Amino acid sequence: MTNSATQPILSGFYPDPTICRVGDDYYLSTSSFEYFPGAPIFHSTDLVNWTQQGHILDRRSQFRLGDPRPSTGIYGSTLREHDGIFWFITTNVSDYGAGQVLVQATDPAGPWSDPVFIGEAIGIDPDLCWDENGDCYLSWKAMSFTEGEIGILQARLDASTGKLRDAPYPIWQGSGMGAVEAPHLYRNGSYWYLLLAEGGTERGHCVTAARSLHPSGPFEACPNNPIFTHRSSIDPVQNVGHADLVQTPEGAWAAVYLGVRPRGSTPGFHVLGRETFVAGIDWMGGWPVFDEDRFCVPAVDTAFSDDFSDARLHRRWVVPSGEPESIVSKAPDGGIGLSRLADGSMGLLCARVRDLRWSAETVISGSGSFLLRIDDRNCYGLTVEAGRVSGWVHLGGIHHELGSTEARAETTLRIESAPPLSPPVPLGHGGPDEIVLSVVQEGREHLLGRFDGRYLSTEVASGFTGRMLAIQGSQGQGTFLSMRYTPYTPQT
């Protein structure tokens, strides 16, 4: 067991959590950006043990491809239950002009409905709540990626049609910091509480609160804002914010929120993306107070081994800018082949890296690549082509070959996260880790390259995602026979 202040309940690239409860069951979903299927959904009965049930947006009619660039796709969302129906509302930045995307289901494991598009609400981070009269309120961060921020707007919504029942009006705009976003509204006692994220999703991230007797305001700001932040601290978890509250069956309250675990030389580099944490909530003087130490988080076995023999791919596998079924084909003698996307590029089949130290291997017959990526501009990999294996790094517009060796009929490619050989600044330049690229031949590791892990961090590569392991087809014929991922413990 590990303290909830330092151990995520969902490790790896699972940001912007949103949560709801029905009876003894909790349901949680997160942002997924360009990866499809989108919006993974999890179930728990205790807030610390979570099992993925699938994805909410598992059809392209729900998550239009549109603009396929990295860090587009599914942004912050809200998951709620009302009168026996589960509602999920989100922003698909790849189809930004369509407005907010609203789907519903009677079972959170799916199937979820075709979407209703709310074209009058352009922006990100939509929220839904219902008052005692059954009126549905939509709140969101209105903005344009070209013209800038507008602010937090609200309107009553006809959820069946996606039409607004009011002209959008501003509500509380936060405590005065930048990047005001992620509104969530809750009723507790006689007050409606509005939580916002402020300060940006980087080191200045925080949670602020206001309250009102009506969901549309006017709102009174909490005198202790921000009510939660790690800014200007040496806490091992940073960037905390984007919180969503839930009430337990016993009447207590809890929050899920995002945070990162930076490592290495200044300014610190986080490589797994933004992760999901849990905290307790106390109500003091009529305001929510975070208790990060409330829960004990059990160790989670993140290891997996996949020989691709199942009829359907495991739900860990996702595809950027495409669909698994469009690029994956079963090989007659076992394993899978990967084909091109509609735009002509080679398809990638990806799985999240969940740990700070780990090793991964894939066995390939013929041609193909195995890589660790933040996005298509920032990745390290191994490629089998024309009878040779080469190790390489791709950083921005620079491509550099690290080394090569002869390939076998079946080649085992290994990528590993290892402790840095250099100490941190000022004694050295050590980053969060070093990525080791090698080939395993006759039980022996043949090193092709070792490269600084800082370049596959958000602080360098930018964006909103985290590290992904990926297999990729090539010009020649190739079959991936297996994939194995092994975390190293303890994590440092």
Cβ neighbours, 10 Å, residue 437: 26
Single residue among 280, 297, 314 that ends a domain in this structure: 297
Calpha distance 467→270 (Å, rounded):
10
Q: Is 142 exposed, middle or buried (0-12, 13-18, 19+ CB in 10 A)?
A: middle
Residue 119 confidence (pLDDT)? 96
Calpha distance 479→492 (Å, rounded):
35
Tokens describing residue 78:
């809200």
Would 492 be classed as within a structural domain? no
Residue 443 confidence (pLDDT)? 83
Cβ neighbours, 10 Å, residue 157: 27
Which of 69, 70, 71, 90 minimizes the C-alpha distance to 79?
Answer: 90
CA distance to 383, 402, 432, 440, 441, per residue, from 406 (Å): 11, 14, 31, 11, 10
Calpha distance 145→210 (Å, rounded):
27
The CA radius of gyration of the chain, in Å to the nearest whole number, is 23
293 and 310 both lie in a single domain:
no
Residue 439 confidence (pLDDT)? 97
What CATH number did the domain enclosing 434 receive?
A: 2.60.120.200
Interior angle at CA 96, CA 216 and CA 173, nearest 5:
30
Total number of domains in the chain: 2
314 and 287 both lie in a single domain:
no
| Residues 6+ away with beta carbon under 8 Å from 98 | 64, 92, 117, 119
Beta strands in 319-377 (DSSP E): 319-320, 328-330, 336-338, 348-352, 358-366, 368-375
Cis ω for the linkage preceding 218 (within 30 of 0): yes
Out of 181, 198, 375, 433, the active site residue is 181
Residue 491 confidence (pLDDT)? 47
Calpha distance 68→137 (Å, rounded):
31
Which of 40, 45, 50 minimizes the C-alpha distance to 88?
Answer: 40
Q: Can 307 be counted among the known catalytic residues? A: no
314 and 271 both lie in a single domain:
no
Q: Can 355 be counted among the known catalytic residues? A: no
Give me the torsion for CA of 184, 187, 189, 191, rounded to 10°: 60
pLDDT tens digits, one per residue of 28-76:
999 999 999 999 999 999 999 999 999 999 999 999 999 989 999 999 9
Residue 173 confidence (pLDDT)? 97
Calpha distance 94→75 (Å, rounded):
10
261 and 192 both lie in a single domain:
yes
276 and 252 both lie in a single domain:
yes
Q: Which domain does 178 fall in, by range? A: 2-297
Q: Which H helix or E strand runs over 459?
A: helix 458-461
Single residue among 257, 275, 297 that ends a domain in this structure: 297
Residue 490 confidence (pLDDT)? 56
Tell me which residues of the chain have a pLDDT lower than 70.
490-492
What CATH number did the domain enclosing 117 receive?
A: 2.115.10.20
Residue pair 281/291 in contact (Cβ under 8 Å)? The answer is: yes
